[in-house]
Amino acid sequence: MKHLAQAAVAAATLLLAGCQASTSDTTSQTATPTAGNKDLSGLFGQFWDKQSRLDPISATAQGDNRFNDLLPNDQTQAYRDTLRNFYQDYLTRAEQFDRAKLDENDQISYDIFTYDLKQRVAGLKLNTWMIPFQQFWGLPLSMGQYGAGQGIQPFKTVKDYDNWLGRVQGFTVWADSAIGNFRRGMKAGVVLPRTLVVKMIPQMQDATIVVTDPTKSLFYEPIKNFPKDFSDADKKRLTEAYQQAILTQLAPTYRKLGTFLATEYLPKARATSGINAVPGGPEIYNYYVGYWTTTAKTPAEIHALGLSEVARIRAEMERVKTQLGFKGTLREFFERLRKDPKAMPFKSAEEVLAGFRKIQATIDPNLKTMFGRTPKTPFEIRETEKFREASASAEYNQGSPDGSRPGIFYVPIPKPAEYNVTQGMESLFLHEAIPGHHYQISLQQENISLPKFRQFAGYGAMTEGWALYCESLGKELGLYKDPYQYIGALSDEMLRAVRLVVDTGLHTGQMTREQAIAYMLDNTPDNEANDTAAIERYMAIPGQALAYKIGQLKIQELRARYTKQLGSKFKLSNFHDELLKDGVMPLDVLEHKMDAWAARQK
């Protein structure tokens, strides 16, 4: 994932940043074995309402603004116990339904619901709570995005402004508990690699967050952008409240986190690279492989598949290299492309953004032949905020279902003159933006006929598999005519194949960080700094990087199968519409659904 936003939502489903439960969340209501579709729908509705109260951060992301002032503490044992009881209760209640008596769509819902709850219950048995956040994901980073006033947290009304102050109070409590959990991990040996902690410290000490002048804070941005209809009295009160919150809560909390990481945690961080090295590590990795791929594939099977895909893509890269008349090695070819002025035509960040807008205009006419359904949610392209661009990838942040907040494609552009199109500019847009994540996520959220837990579901393998599959549509959409852009597209696919090798290699102990970086340098055109950041990302979030290729290969397999089976009755737009209309789901459930669709086409 150059994209991370939807996967972060998926992970938040597991980790549930900033949540708390009430005793009513575990009240059991039984269902009779003969209960039908209406009763199951009621169960789903009850579950979702309670889930939203448990996870108010995700509720905000999904456009449910009832809990925008809440940031309860998910770092306690009591919270985890309540969550476990909540999931197990609803799993038990769901399993009392007779699946055979449900209609086809409710059978899909039943399969997804029970699969998901079993995953959640299993995940809560792991000791990953001893690592509350890392350099890539976590509440301290999300707070900066939410509180800057341009993202998911709304800042349109006086109540919105007051809501954020409530979340700030919750964050100070959360941080103290997170430090406690880090210390538990230090005693148990469940700690992050040292190289990751080194990256976390400057994030916590960023000059736009740890300030002495509140007006210089990232969190002061909403005050600089008051809506015009606010009264002078409200503006004065909120200005004073935000200055106070920044100086007495936010800046001290981040300073405390940074000091803890630098003085206590860093000396205890580990020298090893993979999660296998911590107590319970192999079990943790096997769980995450299943969680992110939604398959029963083993790390060894995925490693072998990765080696095969790397060899296939490398052969195509060699062909393009020869076609362009280059005589040296593939690595030398990559080096030349990285320095070629033709591949770096930009002078400013705005020119890079304009380049992406041109890609959007190019594909727009051809999208109509590939999709019968398109999203209503608005779409924007923005530069990534400066405070997080150093560790950020390009990513998509979902819009709100009602269209009041657009879907946003964020691009980090720290050095515009070095922005190289052979990094896969066209394929990146197809993946992160249109028709990748923006189409899939928006169409899913806009489908109000789905149960809420499906309307806002996030399964890495289908979500990222779809986005990577969309990269393969480039030629059909009028792109990849420039060999620089095509080699960029191949490089992007190669990156996802390499991930199968290095992620499994790192987390089973077959590869060190340095060996994984060297493998990436051998097979991808990126520089050592970017490859290092990528490997450290895979170290931080085990298994997530496997989702792309596993999902893409399944979607390509299904398209090839139905093209052959249906012949002249196969219509690509119908295939795409069917694939997306019911939202993302585990790959086995998807395959069963699509096989039923293909049978109806005959």
Four-residue CA torsion sign, 491, 496, 500, 506: positive
Mean pLDDT of 589-596: 97
Model confidence pLDDT, tens digit, residues 489-531:
999 999 999 999 999 999 999 999 999 999 999 999 888 998 9
Q: Is 393 helix (H, G, I), strand (E, B) or coil?
A: coil
43 and 115 inside one domain: yes
Q: Per the domain annotation, does 120 fall within a domain?
A: yes
406 and 501 inside one domain: yes
- The predicted pLDDT at position 20 comes to 29
8 and 24 inside one domain: no
Instruction: Enter the tokens of residue 198.
Output: 């080194």
Residue 543, pLDDT above cutoff 50: yes
251 and 314 inside one domain: no
230 and 105 inside one domain: no
343 and 255 inside one domain: no
Residues 6+ apart with CB under 8 A from 394: 2, 3, 384, 409, 410, 411, 412, 428, 432
Residue 16, pLDDT above cutoff 50: no
- The predicted pLDDT at position 602 comes to 86
231 and 296 inside one domain: no
123 and 153 inside one domain: no
- Residue where a domain terminates, one of 504, 531, 550: 550
Sheet strands (E) in 372-488: 379-383, 395-397, 407-411
Q: Per the domain annotation, does 556 fall within a domain?
A: no
- The predicted pLDDT at position 1 comes to 38
Model confidence pLDDT, tens digit, residues 229-264:
999 999 999 999 999 999 999 999 999 999 999 999
SS (H, E, C) 168-186: HHHHHHHHHHHHHHHHHHH
pLDDT band at 265 (very low <50, low <70, confident <90, very high): very high
Residue 34, pLDDT above cutoff 50: no
Residue 54, pLDDT above cutoff 90: yes
- The predicted pLDDT at position 452 comes to 92
Q: Per the domain annotation, does 564 fall within a domain?
A: no
Write the single-letter amino acid at 86.
F
SS3 content of the chain, % helix, strand, coil (to 5): 65, 0, 30
Q: How many residues does the chain have?
A: 602
Q: Per the domain annotation, does 600 fall within a domain?
A: no
pLDDT, averaged across the chain: 92
- The predicted pLDDT at position 337 comes to 86
Domain span at residue 247 reads 1-14+132-192+194-269
Measuring CA to CA, how many Å separate 291 from each of 85, 586, 590? 20, 9, 16
Q: Per the domain annotation, does 448 fall within a domain?
A: yes
- In percent, the amount of the chain with pLDDT more than 70 equals 94
Model confidence pLDDT, tens digit, residues 115-133:
999 999 999 999 999 999 9
pLDDT band at 36 (very low <50, low <70, confident <90, very high): low
Cβ contact 195:514 at 8 Å: no
86 and 185 inside one domain: no
- Residue where a domain terminates, one of 269, 299, 314: 269
Residue 35, pLDDT above cutoff 90: no
Of 47, 31, 121, the closest CA to residue 456 belongs to: 47
- Residue where a domain terminates, one of 269, 302, 317: 269
415 and 471 inside one domain: yes
pLDDT band at 387 (very low <50, low <70, confident <90, very high): confident
Residue 589, pLDDT above cutoff 70: yes
- The predicted pLDDT at position 21 comes to 29
10 and 34 inside one domain: no
Residues 6+ apart with CB under 8 A from 24: 50
205 and 298 inside one domain: no
Q: Per the domain annotation, does 276 fall within a domain?
A: no
pLDDT band at 29 (very low <50, low <70, confident <90, very high): very low
Strand partners, 407: 379
Tally of domains in the chain: 3
Q: Per the domain annotation, does 283 fall within a domain?
A: no
Q: Per the domain annotation, does 366 fall within a domain?
A: yes
Local structure of residue 193 (DSSP, 8 states):
B
pTM summary value: 0.87
